[in-house]
């Protein structure tokens, strides 16, 4: 299972949650599988999907899922301690861990050589932090959606991705339709 098939497996679970999606390739895959005005495609600023989702979850009642990558989380490990401290019941950090920098030619990340993001998240203070094989991630996410967070799910998958095309939305279109969707949900 690669990230694309993993995202296919979790997409049917999504309904009114708000999703922050990490970087270009994963966002293109999510867009192709399921586009929604509850999706914010974060196309640059590698590492900040987790923090954006945290900030959003502090301010709204709906569940927020940050879809992140192993290389990205490794760039912003400090925010795991902030997620623990904030203790937002409505926040899920869903880490697609394919052990590689997929957007730059699949160079291995440190998780491919032994680093456990679930263990780091647990040590940061996030009690519900688990690593699961990609095939079991949808069942785990389904469970986490029904229980108070914060949750960290590390889904282990193979590197690689199908050929995709850029998302045909401008940055401002992505921003504005998401903000309007949040506003409607909060009204």
Partner 1 sequence: MSAGDVNQALLADLKANGADFFVSVPCKLLGGFISTLEQDNEITYRAVNREEEGLGICTGAYLAGRTPVIVMQNTGVGTLITSLCSLGNYYRLPFLMVISHRGSPGEPIGAQVPMGTAVETLLQTINVPTYMFSDPSDTKKIGQLVPFASVAEGPVAAILDYDFWGAR
Q: Please give the residue ranges that form the binding site for partner 1 (CB under 8 A).
A: 20, 40, 42-45, 47-60, 64, 76, 78-79, 81-82, 86, 171-172, 174-175, 178-179, 182-183, 186
| C-alpha to C-alpha distance for 44 and 142, rounded to whole angstroms | 28
Secondary element (H or E) of residue 4: helix 3-10
Q: Which is nearer to partner 1, 78 or 162 (CB)?
A: 78
Q: CB 158 → partner 1: shortest distance, Å?
A: 28
Nearest-approach distance from CB 58 to partner 1, in angstroms:
7
N-to-C CA span, the chain: 39
- Name which of 27 and 49 has its Cβ closer to partner 1: 49
Give the Cα separation of 54 and 103 in Å (integer).
24
Q: How far apart are CA 118 and CA 50, in angstroms?
A: 14
Note the Cα 115 to chain centre separation in Å: 19
The strand ranges marked E within the chain are: 18-22, 39-42, 64-69, 91-97, 100-101, 107-108, 128-133, 151-156
Region class of 105: left (phi > 0), else alpha (psi between -120 and 50), else beta: left
Distance in Å, CB of 172 to partner 1, minimum: 6
Q: Toward partner 1, which CB reaches closer, 55 or 159?
A: 55
Considering the complex, state which of residue 82 and residue 115 has its C-beta at the smaller distance from partner 1: 82
Cα–Cα distance between 121 and 17 in angstroms, integer? 22
Q: At its nearest, how many Å lie between partner 1 and the CB of residue 132?
A: 25
Cβ proximity to partner 1, 82 vs 161, nearer residue? 82
């Amino acid at each position: 299972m690669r990230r694309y098939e993993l995202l296919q497996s979790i997409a049917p679970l999504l309904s009114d949650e708000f999703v922050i999606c990490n970087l270009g390739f994963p966002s293109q895959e999510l867009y192709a599988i399921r586009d929604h005005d509850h999706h914010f495609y974060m196309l640059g600023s590698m590492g900040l999907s987790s923090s954006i989702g945290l900030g959003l979850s502090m301010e709204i009642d709906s569940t927020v899922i940050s879809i992140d990558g192993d290389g990205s989380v490794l760039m912003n490990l400090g925010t795991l301690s902030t997620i623990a401290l904030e203790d937002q019941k409505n926040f899920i950090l869903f880490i697609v861990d394919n052990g590689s920098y997929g957007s730059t030619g699949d160079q291995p990340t440190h998780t491919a050589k032994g680093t456990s993001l679930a263990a780091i998240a647990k040590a940061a203070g996030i009690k519900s932090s688990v690593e699961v094989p990609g095939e079991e991630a949808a069942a785990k996410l389904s469970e986490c959606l029904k229980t108070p967070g914060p949750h960290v799910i590390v889904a282990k998958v193979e590197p690689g991705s199908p050929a995709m095309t850029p998302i045909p939305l401008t940055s401002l279109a992505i921003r504005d339709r998401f903000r309007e969707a949040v506003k409607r949900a909060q009204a």
